[in-house]
Chains A and B, each alone.
Chain A
């Protein structure tokens, strides 16, 4: 299916609506798709992302679970192995820790260990992102954990358009996919066509074309990078913003091509900078564009602390338009 990112859409919807539409359309298209998680039915999740799905699809396909993340993730694995396409909802990304055994030791490995006989076509949707004043146990961005495990695909949409297309592709994928939604983006609006489309996993997207520096950014950091790019433009620096969209599969070529073109790269991600996905992305670029780079690749991620609760503290822990602007300006020698 063609990626119509640049195709004009005659309507704008929010990120949350895009997720809901993707789920509803896939559930209409394929009766094996169903949702399970805590407070997904009547409440439609605390973020109201799933509001209305219970009404349309009934309580059998929008299933409220007991508070048992490890258990219902295992349930999804079993259902997926035997012909269903469950979409698991993990209310806060911080609770993925409870699902790790099922995801890492079972879902990720079944296809390989069975000699290709079994598969696990499930999607786990969860949240990430700080600055919602929710403290350290409700604010983490733990996507890097899954990226480390062969057998899991990891998706980080940054716009309503991408969210819808990527989620549909994830549901149709034959493998376990972990889908991270930044909870601060649910209200973000953007153009989304009404027609059916998917965004293939493993294709990066250039969100802004530029000449002097490349900002590789994921999820909510794409908006930060675009904001920084606008500030940079005012001082005569043309920044390109590239969104890998999926951490695995990873579109290395688009990242490297952009790096070769601009010769300077900053990688941004809301997860921890230390041992985070920025390390992998920077390494891909540093290796692939080695002879074209004018400066070492710079990485920016969350400060190496549990995310604090108080606003002045929390705001100091994540990259902002201003800090990215400063870093880019320094790198460009202006």
Chain B
């Protein structure tokens, strides 16, 4: 059933008792054409675009927990395409374009809000670096505006502009960036993939990958063996563990990133702001809570919870930039486990195992990638070849030297 104003009215008038589940809960078949491991945003989007763009509907998405339990439901919801390196710029711009039409495409309200992403700079050198990035974006056809301090002050009145140590000198604005309600993205893609025939199998953990003569045969799961011709791995923070089941050793470390939400307050911030002198970013949700985060904790972790020093650091950045926040209480805090790759960029590629495909290494920025990641991964799985948009996201780039290191930090995942 499509959502419409009439459906909403009908259900409102009947006390919301008549809503039906929006995806099925089927028993696993013994065999599928294609399996996707990981029911996060990327896995679900892949199943959707496999059906929509390539007509491949004999697909199951295997999720060890419930839909939305991973990073797709843990992130700070920011989308943008403000990258420097051409491979990243074009890919993330494709993603932003898919976000712009997503709700109509899925018939699902994902609360896509292009409220702008404003990256502040605090020194002349940083202004030069941001101007360079803005110019690179414009050359690639992406919107970018370099704002001076007066404009920033008028746009976001709460910012402390004159901090003695980190005065705000201006900002790089991507007006088309913004936020998207993350749970709705998981639910919207799950519903849309299900409606096109994909089976979504929750509480189905993959425990092994069966490979014979260099070719995949299927996966062992907590609900038995499931055969398949092709398998796509999209297990976000657990990619190393899942890939190891097929004998692969990835250029990835798992790290924890935390996020925070404050008590709800009246509207005071209508854009996304990032601090350039520390690691801090903030937006305000429609409920009024401030949603914010900072740096990763910095050590390998699968714990889905962070440690207190990072909490302190994030709060310090928050009150440096927005002194008014010092009186707020934070309501909730949580952590998510992410794939930090060795160059800070993702991998969407084939693998040395025939029929096995890999989607991983999204670091702390894979939410905004969700539509394009699913779109490109579906193309790679369906055709056996990467799309030009993900052709640079190769697994062997760490051997050939063609790495995509936006920060120039080298093979140190905790510095990206």
- Is B a genuine binding partner of A? no
Chain B residues packing against A (C-beta within 8 Å) = none
Interface residues of A (CB under 8 A from B): none
